[in-house]
Amino acid sequence: MSKARIDAMSFDDRDASGISAPRYSDREQLPAILEQMLLNGTEVDDCIKVCLTNYSITHEPEIPTSTEIAYYPHSSLLRRRRQTRLPRSREHVLRHLDEGRLSQIWKEFRMQKRWLTPHFHGDFVYEYVDEANLRRQNVEVKHRLPYRYDGTNSVFFNGSLYYHRANTPRIAKYELHSKRYDEVTIRNADYRDDHFTYNMSMSYFDIAVDENALWVMFHYEKEPFLSVAKLDINNLTIYDIWNLTMINHNEMGNGFVACGVVYLVRSAFELKSEITIAYDFYRDKYRQPNIRWVNLYRNANMMSYNPYDKRVYIYDHGYLLTLPARLSWRAR
């Protein structure tokens, strides 16, 4: 009985027409992941190109992105263009892109990062590669702060963490890369015992960033109303302080600032709540937005607006939730 001969599988370096180069056609489209593989230029990829005689590689038009959003006084709303996708291989990028494009891609990569202070009190901030790794608790770097933080309403912006320095009436700024530390004192602000900014919020200061400035919500010692300070995001200079006498801080559950307006949620623990009152700092007037609000897990101890993606982030009983702010231009 003769044995059958089995040859090793090989790929012909020609297509169906006999030409030794892959043939392109507009008749069929490949999935994006295969298109990326075909662009790598390895020997295996060349074999795949020969086997696939009808394929095309689409090139999306490149839309230039705006520069990093910084401090713009008296602006109402800034728009950000669509970002380009970050390539998977940094070495491939380094060979084919100029320095300016590399800088922009690195900025976009940093914008995907997330930071978290894991407890009500502590001296570490956790850095994550992106939101997916944050949800899986895959910590990339643990940064030790020079002074302990207090509360759940810290904010991270432009490479710096802004937080309440524990057991003091001071707001701290810590740059993670340079390790530079600055702070400012908000005199007569209450930061002791259970005198929290909001009802059962476990935070004495609520720090927020929008397109205009750094904002700090707090209340003075023995005063029932909510106060808000506007600070320079770079050097922590206090520009102004508003005393919102129509808003009792003990009757509010939490809040956030977007486009120069503070929105206050009535309760952070009831399933169905609402935003019944807001204050516009640039028009110096109260508003009644009457926006329905849902606390899915009934413990929303952090609410923060992100000026980059125009979304509100909520940390509700250990769950990270987001919702679009749906902001629009206002003429007056």
**What are the residue boundaries of the structural domains of the chain, listed by start?**
91-325
Distance between CA atoms of 92 and 171, rounded to whole angstroms? Answer: 43
pLDDT value at position 94?
36
Contact 163, 172 (CB under 8 A): yes
Q: Report phi then psi at 106, rounded to 5.
A: -65, -35
Distance between CA atoms of 166 and 173, rounded to whole angstroms? Answer: 13
pLDDT value at position 292?
93
pLDDT value at position 112?
83
Which tokens go with 260? 């120069």
**91-325, what's its fold?**
Neuraminidase (2.120.10)
Distance between CA atoms of 259 and 115, rounded to whole angstroms? Answer: 23
What residue spans of the chain are helical by DSSP H? 32-38, 43-51, 90-96, 99-111, 131-136
Q: How many residues does the chain have?
A: 332
**106-130: per-residue pLDDT in tens?**
445 567 888 988 888 999 999 999 8
**211-250: per-residue pLDDT in tens?**
889 999 999 999 999 999 999 999 999 999 999 999 999 9
Looking at every residue in the chain, the average pLDDT score rounds to: 77
Instruction: Decide: helix, strand or coil at residue 150.
Output: strand
Mean pLDDT for 236-265 is: 96
Bridge partners (DSSP) of residue 156 are 161
- For residue 131, name the pLDDT band (cuts at 50, 70, 90): confident
Higher pLDDT pick, 105 / 91:
105
**165-212: per-residue pLDDT in tens?**
999 999 999 999 999 999 999 999 999 999 999 998 889 999 999 988
Q: Report phi then psi at 91, rounded to 5.
A: -65, -40
pLDDT value at position 84?
28
Bridge partners (DSSP) of residue 153 are none
CA proximity to 232, closest of 163, 184, 165, 187: 184
Most confident of 33-42, 106-115, 150-159: 150-159
Distance between CA atoms of 24 and 22, rounded to whole angstroms? Answer: 7
Which residues, at least 6 apart from 329, have a Cβ–Cβ distance to it below 8 Å? 76, 77
Check the CA dihedral 39-45-50-56 and report its sign. negative
CA proximity to 219, closest of 257, 188, 193: 188
pLDDT value at position 22?
46
Please report, as a single letter, which amino acid is at residue 5.
R
CA proximity to 184, closest of 199, 193, 174: 174
Lowest-pLDDT range of 134-138, 169-173, 277-281: 134-138
- Asked whether the whole model's pTM tops 0.85, one would answer no
